[in-house]
Amino acid sequence: MKFERYGIGIAKGLTVTIRHLLRHPTVNQYPEQRLNISRRFRGNELIWNREKCTGCGTCAKTCPQGAIEIVTATDMAENKYIVDKYEIDTGYCIQCGLCVEACPYEALYFSHNFECARYRRGELVQGKEEMLETPQRKVSGYFYPDKAQKLPGQTLLVEKITEKR
């Protein structure tokens, strides 16, 4: 550049900032304005399908955090395991998704929910009943592309044209 260091650099910088003053800001205002999160979102809770689960315990073995606790009993008559206790401590869970990928019977999913803050640590433990799918607790499409199709598409910042240039 021939015109380096004649104050041109500073002037150019000033035009860039003043132009931003006239553009739309990129931010959105969270509680009122909500964006759709990813279809594969790994929510802060796990969803468990009681019918499909066989109590094999693969998920608990795979979990790197040891956040899953399963206690099973044998049902001799039906020749299968009964899941007595299935607990996930979401306070320890790092939402890595390995358990969902590992489950051989497609019984474990992520939830599509992200506002799961609690006031006490103990409340973070999800028991059997809190893990079932409900209308509030939607299943996320992580690792299950067919479930992903049912969810609304993600809002992308690349598609939000806020800048006119």
Partner 1 sequence: MMIVDFIATGQGHFQAIPPDWPGGFWWHWLFFTVVVIGFVLTMVMGVIYIERRGMGRMQSRLGPNRTGPFGLLQPVADAVKVLLKENIVPAAADKLVHWLAPVVAFAPALMIFAVIPFSNGALLADLNIGILYIVAISSVSTVGVFMAGWGSSNKYSLLGAMRNVAAVVSYEIPLVLAIVGVVLIAGSLSMNQIVVAQNIPFILLQPLGFLLFFAAGCAEINRSPFDLMEADSEIVAGFHTEYSGMKFAMFYLVEYAEAVAISAIICTLFLGGWKGPLLPPWLWFIIKVMLVFFAMVWTRTTLPRIRIDQLMAFAWKFLFPMAIINLFITALQVLAGWPTQLMWAMIIVNFAVTAFMVLIWSRFFFRLGWGRIEV
Partner 2 sequence: MAVRTEPFVLNMGPVHPSTHGVFRMRVTLDGEVVVDIEPVFGYLHRGIEKLAEQRTYAGIIPLTDRLDYISSMNNNFAYCLAVEKLAGIKVPERAEYIRVIISELQRIAALLIAVGAFLNDCGAFFTPFLYMFRERERIVDLFEMVSGQRLTYNYLRAGGVSQDLPEEFLPALRKFMDMMPRFMDEYDRLLQQNEILIARAKGVGILPAEQAINCSISGPVLRASGVKWDIRKDDPYSIYDRFDFDVPTQPAGDCYDRYRQRVEEMRQSLRIIEQAMKQIPSGPVRAEVPHLIHPPVGEAYGRIECPKGELGFYLVSDNSIAPYRCHIRPPSLINLTALRDMVRGWKVADLIIIFGSIDITVGEIDR
Counting contacts by CB under 6 A, is residue 47 touching ligand SF4?
A: no
DSSP class per residue in 126-141 = E-SGGGS--SSSPBP-
Query: Residues in contact with partner 2, total (CB under 8 A)?
Result: 44
Which listed option, partner 2, partner 1, ligand SF4, none, makes contact with residue 116 (CB within 5 to 8 Å by class)?
none
Cβ(100)–Cβ(110) below 8 Å: yes
Q: Identify the H or E element spanning 46.
A: strand 46-48
Scanning residues 95 to 154, which ones bind ligand SF4 (CB under 6 A)? 95-99, 103, 105, 107-108
Among 139, 143, 147, 151, binds partner 2 (CB under 8 A): 143
Query: CA–CA separation, 17 vs 22, rounded Å?
Result: 9
Query: CA–CA separation, 110 vs 100, rounded Å?
Result: 7
- Over the window 94 to 133, marking each residue x when it contacts partner 2 by CB under 8 A and - when it does not, the resulting string is xxxxx--xx-------x-----------------------
Q: Alpha helices of the chain — where are they, by DSSP H?
A: 8-22, 58-62, 98-102, 145-148
The binding site for ligand SF4 (CB under 6 A) comprises 53-59, 62-63, 65, 67-68, 70, 88, 93-99, 103, 105, 107-108
